[in-house]
Structure 1
Amino acid sequence: MAWLQVLLAQCVVYLARAPKSIEVYSAYNNVKACLRSHQGPLPPVPLHLRNAPTRLMKDLGYGQGYKYTPVYSEPADQDYLPEELRGVDFFKQRRC
């Protein structure tokens, strides 16, 4: 257990000393602004990303086609955003 604490401390020090950027902060704010300005119901989560704990949900297509990325040697070709947000680059665009 003590080694775990040392490893966590090393991670904290590494991250504290790492060069900082506001890139993630800006992208996160762009996502929040997009969601706030969205008219009507929010876009749905893609079906393949939805959990399917029941037979009904499985029959409705929840979780079908999901690619579990740790088993792929390359990034899995899979969409994570709803259809209407695909192609939006929150790191570059201020609004969606």
Structure 2
Amino acid sequence: MEPTGTYHEHLAYSLDDRTVRVVLANPARVRSFALGMGILTKNDTVDADVLTRYGATRQPDVWQPPSPAIRELKTLLSTRDALVQDVNQRE
């Protein structure tokens, strides 16, 4: 899958918990791969096909989820960033 913001995380962790191998492919690399094959169209069906071909051809490394401590730290930092942004908007 292509990671976009934090939207992919829940699915990635859920799949990993079920021992499904997950690859987080860099969207720019996947797009370059598609362009190299002459694929200019971009929609969900085409993207799924391109990701399948990318995985089969490139065989990228399987994603290793961060430790629970790192996950908690990321959550705390995201919360902090949101609070700082909220405070700055009020000033």
Instruction: Please report the TM-score for the alignment, with normalisation by the length of structure 2.
Output: 0.29
Larger Rg: 1
More helix by share: 2
Instruction: Please report the TM-score for the alignment, with normalisation by the length of structure 1.
Output: 0.28
Higher relative contact order (CA 8 A, sep 6+): 1
